[in-house]
Amino acid sequence: MVARSRYPKLVSPVLIPEVWPDILPGLQTMQKKAGGDSPDTIQKRLVEHEAFLFTVPEGFFVLLPVARAQPSVLVWAAYGVGGGLIQKYEPVISALARKVGAFTLEFESPRPGYRRALKHWKRTGNRYTRRLT
For 12-32, the pLDDT digits (tens) are: 999 999 999 999 999 999 888
pLDDT tens digits, one per residue of 71-128? 999 999 999 998 888 888 999 999 999 999 999 999 998 888 888 888 899 999 999 9
Q: Is the pLDDT of residue 3 over 80?
A: no
For 9-131, give the CATH class: alpha beta
pTM over 0.85: yes
- Partnered with residue 78 across adjacent β-strands are 61
User: What does the pLDDT read at residue 4?
Assistant: 46
Domain ranges of the chain: 9-131
CA distance 6 to 111: 26
CA distance 90 to 5: 16
User: What does the pLDDT read at residue 6?
Assistant: 58
Residue 119, φ and ψ in degrees, nearest 5 = -65, -20
